[in-house]
With several copies, the nearest count.
Chain A
Amino acid sequence: MKIFEYEAKTILAKYGIQTPKGGLATDVNQVREIASTLKPPLAIKAQVLVAGRGRSGGILFADSVSEAEKSAEKLLNMQIKGIPVRSIWIEEKIQVKNELYLGITIDRANRSYVAIASTVGGMEIEEVAAEAPEKVIKSLIKPQHGFRSFHARQMARKIGYSGSQLTTLGKIFEALYRVSMDYDTELVEINPLAETFDGKFVAADARIIIDDNALFRHREYKKRLLEGESELTPQELEAIRNNLAYVKLNGNIGVIGNGAGLVMATLDTIQFYGGKPSNFLDVGGGATSEKIAAALNIVLSDPNVKALFINILGGITRCDEVATGILKAKERVGVTKPIVIRLVGTNEEEGKRILTEVGIHVLESMEEAAQKVVKISKQEEER
């Protein structure tokens, strides 16, 4: 779960990391109020969770309260990658001597947390790693001892600091690790960490992603997620509430399947045959008819969908149950769009019988079914 920049900064400040003075606003009046308490120049930053906010024009600068108001108005009327800007953060702009990167994330290959530091801040760290790997310093963190003050100082030294700046950087980095552990983050990064002309360090931007699977330990965020106080679309929210894995795509073939790998492969196969999937939706193992109804509902709520492909490989799940579930769901949701179903596995024959009786195509081969749904989607599109 991503949280907003202003939330991340509030957390960092709580852990003693210096952040720019600022405030959150949802309308221009609030902007005026906040801006008048700050010392210009100011940074006016759209609070959106999508990546590449800066490049999309989501960060503006202002030298006065009135300029700040104008910038804020502009941002509040803007969409960034399709997401409307609901709130903005106004803060004092830092006079930057150097921009650094500090982050704690997961090293999958080493089954470990990893601390990352770089003297190249302000860019995505993956890009820095690709272009100048020698400028990215990594240190694996073993849970037994964690990332301690001396590890943090060792990192600070490796990016070229010494003396009191080294200890300050060390404290910031150590605090970042504590944030990571306390909030169960997948990623916590300060990027850039601004080094000012008087040698101080200020978190100019910050990003935190909380491990979705640990949200049971962070109920305030779990609650927020379920209450939709985030940037989720109604479909995404509905999916989360029904424990469905759902991702919106840009095509016209709705896809539902059981198992993440199978659904991904289904999308790939549709694409291979020239079709365009409208979504990823995994109902998981042993889905109930309720769950399948919810899945159909979510997928079909996209007006672009011209045809639906349900790909079920019944292993432990029985095909007859799935078929009944689909029928129930179909009736409840009132599906009128063409459906192609691929259904194999346990009790396959009974499942097929149930579905063919009501005139639904049932196929055995995933490739054949994919070709069929692609063809239908094209015909429907041409109507």
Chain B
Amino acid sequence: MGIIIDKNTHAIVQGITGTQGRFHTKLMLEYGTKIVAGVTPGKGGMQIHGVPVYDTVEAALEKHPANASIIFVPAIFAAEAALEALENGIKTIIIITEHIPIKDAVNVMTYAEQVNAVIIGPNTPGIITSEESKLGIMPAHIFMPGSIGMVSRSGTLTYEIAAGLTRKQLGQSTCLGLGGDPITGLNFIDVLKMFRKDPQTKAVVLIGEIGGNLEELTAEYIIKEKYPKPVVAFIAGRSAPPGKRMGHAGAIIMGKAGTAESKIKALRSAGVNVAEKPSDVAKSLARIIDI
């Protein structure tokens, strides 16, 4: 099981002819992901690793029914690509692209909400449901199937923690990155709701960071809904100064808002086990799972 993607996910790759798109299409195919077509305007008729390329999403879908899209299109055109996928009826869209303007992202999210589509990202490593499907750029070998659901605002930090889990034989159901931008599609609460319904997922790892108040809202949600599965969290950025963007566009403390302290405090008050160091996540989880 897992959430959002599985063996039946048939995806197109938008921006398949770029360096990133081409490279990760190969890796996704190797993982077993069903990539049915690629789209790059002006490049229709090509083949990338055996995947046929079309000029438009519409043209791709006429030949290859798909229910997901992963977007590697450059930032200037990425929001357009997402709108194209949405208008052509695709309901699961992963936007890998970083540096999409906020105004463009807001447009995409508003439209996605209207048509009930799931957007992961932008600026996300993607999503992987172990041994079923991977729509993303994460190194597949650090993951193993299991019962831990992971949701994160960060890429490499997720790999760090996932590798730690895998070393301890704590396999994962689905692992996904929300994306490091201020405006993203799915947020922690959305994903927690999905993990709640997923029978495979027994516990959830939540990897947050400074900026915004999604972690605080998630804590409220956990309290209000008496969230039934254990949650272990790590929050990056305790040592970050205010007013500075820490790599991710969304990782910034504004005045006194968005600090790691605030998030850690909120999550702890919701009964979430917040790890001090990345390696502590696996340790905490091992204890909890043993119980």
Contact = CB atoms under 8 A, between A and B. Distances in A.
Q: Report whether chain A binds chain B.
A: yes
B160 A262 contact: yes
Contacts of A106: 102, 106, 182-183
B245 interface: yes
A277 B239 CA distance: 9
B56 A265 contact: no
Nearest to B122: A213
B210 interface: yes
Given A108-B212, A261-B155, A315 B234 contact: no
B10 interface: no
A162 B55 CA distance: 7
Contact of B209 (A109, A130, A145, A261): A261
Contacts of B103: 143, 181, 184, 211, 214
Interface string A39-75: 0000000000001000000000000000000000000
B243 to A, nearest CB: 6
Interface stretch (B29-37, B42-50, B224-232): B42-50
Contact of A213 (B43, B84, B238, B249): B249
A247 interface: yes
Given A111-B109, A211-B102, A145 B42 contact: no
Nearest to B213: A109
Contacts of B55: 153, 157, 162-163, 166-167
Nearest to A370: B277
A259 interface: yes
A261 B56 contact: no
Interface string A150-161: 100110010000
B174 to A, nearest CB: 18
B45 A264 contact: no
B63 to A, nearest CB: 13
Nearest to A267: B239
B102 A186 contact: yes
A216 B107 contact: no
Interface in B150-182: 152-160, 163, 180, 182
A145 B157 CA distance: 36
A268 B236 contact: yes
Nearest to A127: B255
Contacts of A272: 276-277
Contact of A261 (B24, B105, B236, B239): B236
B162 to A, nearest CB: 10
Chain B's interface size range is: 35 or more
Contact of B210 (A111, A163, A264): A264
Q: Which of B58, B113, B246 has the most CB of A within 10 A?
A: B246
A32 B83 CA distance: 51
Interface string A335-351: 00000000011100000
A164 B139 CA distance: 34
B42 A166 contact: yes
B83 A269 contact: no
Contact of B245 (A148, A245, A285, A346): A245
A264 B100 contact: no
Contacts of B43: 163
Interface residues of A, number: 68
B209 to A, nearest CB: 6
Contacts of A262: 154-157, 160
A261 B110 contact: no
A280 B256 contact: no
A108 B152 contact: no
Interface string B234-262: 10111111011111111100111100100
Nearest to B177: A261
Q: Which of A130, A150, A285 has the most CB of B within 10 A?
A: A150
Contact of A269 (B84, B210, B246, B278): B278
A145 B87 CA distance: 10
A149 to B, nearest CB: 6
B266 interface: no
Given A212-B249, A213-B249, A344-B163, A153 B239 contact: no
A320 interface: no
A272 B260 CA distance: 14
A257 B139 CA distance: 17
B241 A247 contact: yes
Interface string A172-215: 00000000010010100000000000000000000000011110
B236 A126 contact: no
B279 A213 contact: no
B234 to A, nearest CB: 7
Given A109-B187, A127-B256, A214-B103, A261 B154 contact: yes
A226 interface: no
B42 A164 contact: yes
Contacts of A213: 75, 99-102, 249
A214 B247 CA distance: 16
B217 interface: yes
Given A214-B102, A280-B247, A108 B157 contact: no
Contacts of B117: none
A101 interface: no
B66 to A, nearest CB: 16
Contacts of A112: 106, 109-110
A337 to B, nearest CB: 21
Given A264-B251, A268-B277, A313-B163, 6 more contacts: A111-B105, A124-B255, A181-B103, A216-B76, A259-B247, A260-B154
16 contacts: A109-B187, A126-B254, A144-B110, A153-B41, A153-B55, A166-B42, A166-B44, A211-B103, A214-B103, A260-B248, A261-B248, A262-B154, A264-B247, A265-B236, A277-B239, A315-B142
Interface of B: 23-24, 27, 41-45, 55-59, 75-77, 80-81, 83-84, 87, 99-103, 105-107, 109-111, 113, 137-139, 141-142, 152-160, 163, 180, 182-185, 187, 207, 209-214, 217, 234, 236-241, 243-251, 254-257, 260, 276-279
